[in-house]
Amino acid sequence: MTAVPMVELTGVAKHYGSLEALCEVDLTVYEGETLCLIGPSGSGKSTLLRCINYLEDLTDGEVRVDGELMGYRDAPTAVHELKERAVCLQRSNIGMVFQSFNLFPHMTVLDNITLAPRMVTRTPKQEAEERARSLLEQVGLADKAKSYPAQLSGGQQQRVAIARALAMRPKLMLFDEPTSALDPELVGEVLNVMKALATDGMTMLVATHEMGFAREVSDRIVFMDAGRIVETGAPREVLENPQHDRTRAFLSALLPS
């Protein structure tokens, strides 16, 4: 079966003044693939994810998700930048989970999950709530629908954030260090939900420092440094036999022998 590209980055660059956050990045992620981005802080992992979702406009290059040019409309002789409402509709096909949970504190878990489907895609309330309850069961929080975020642990809040992203039925999930703000004992419960998504065939890009997760779940690992892709390959190849000096230095500091 021919692999179908879900994400295509071509010559993507992002500059903040003189700072080159991303430098001519080319990357293809295929439908159903789990790709983990690893690298030191400031290497460009988060910026890359935000550019895919067009939360950051590009300095150069282009991003396509499921064949659709993000942030722009193709025309025979040129491309035209989309208005914010059209970009929001594009983003509705992409779920993103951040380091911080970003749940609305004044709303119940159920309301947090149903808000976007009801507002963006005009999903009827009963249908949105039925899907929300199904997703809460999927992430192991079926009994928390009426709770408020402050009544939940960090791991529970992050699982709600994942359910909220899934409520829009996305084609693609982006995870930006989803466990970095959690106490160590809560990390596993979030990673288990992500493992289940990968098993179910969700296309996922995950920026992470969790090397065990990357080794076990990812189809490919991309090592980034200074806004560039330094090395890419199967998990065992990159983690056990890195080819680039910078990759070896990073892994030796992270995984001391």
pLDDT tens by residue, 208-257: 999 999 999 999 999 999 999 999 999 999 999 999 999 999 999 876 65
- As a whole number of Å, the end-to-end CA separation of the chain is 40
Per residue in 169-201, pLDDT (tens digit) is 999 999 999 998 888 889 999 999 999 999 999
* Closest C-alpha among 9, 30, 12 to residue 21: 12
Q: Quick one: CA dihedral 201, 207, 213, 218, positive or negative?
A: positive
Mean of the pLDDT values across residues 143-155? Answer: 95
Indicate the pairing of strand 220-225 with strand 34-38. parallel
Q: Quick one: CA dihedral 90, 93, 98, 104, positive or negative?
A: positive
Structure tokens at 6: 């879900």
Instruction: Report the alpha-carbon distance of residue 13 to residue 167 in Å, rounded.
Output: 31
Asked if 163 and 138 touch (Cβ cutoff 8 Å), the reply is: yes
Asked if 52 and 65 touch (Cβ cutoff 8 Å), the reply is: yes
Cα 111 from chain centre: 22
Amino acid identity at 12? V
Q: How confident is the model at residue 135 (pLDDT cuts 50, 70, 90)?
A: very high
pLDDT of residue 37: 97
CA distances from 45 to 38, 112, 116, 209, 245 (A): 7, 27, 26, 11, 19
* Closest C-alpha among 29, 25, 69, 28 to residue 47: 25
* Closest C-alpha among 55, 41, 22, 5 to residue 250: 41
pLDDT of residue 133: 96
Mean of the pLDDT values across residues 130-153? Answer: 96
* Closest C-alpha among 203, 200, 251, 199 to residue 225: 251
Instruction: Report the alpha-carbon distance of residue 33 to residue 155 in Å, rounded.
Output: 25
Q: Which residue's structure tokens are 């930006």?
A: 176
Q: How confident is the model at residue 2 (pLDDT cuts 50, 70, 90)?
A: low
The kind and range of the H/E element at 25 are strand 19-30
Q: Quick one: CA dihedral 240, 246, 250, 255, positive or negative?
A: positive
pTM of the entire structure?
A: 0.93
Instruction: Report the alpha-carbon distance of residue 106 to residue 98 in Å, rounded.
Output: 19
Per residue in 67-123, pLDDT (tens digit) is 999 988 877 677 788 888 888 888 989 999 998 888 999 999 999 999 999 988 899
pLDDT of residue 100: 86
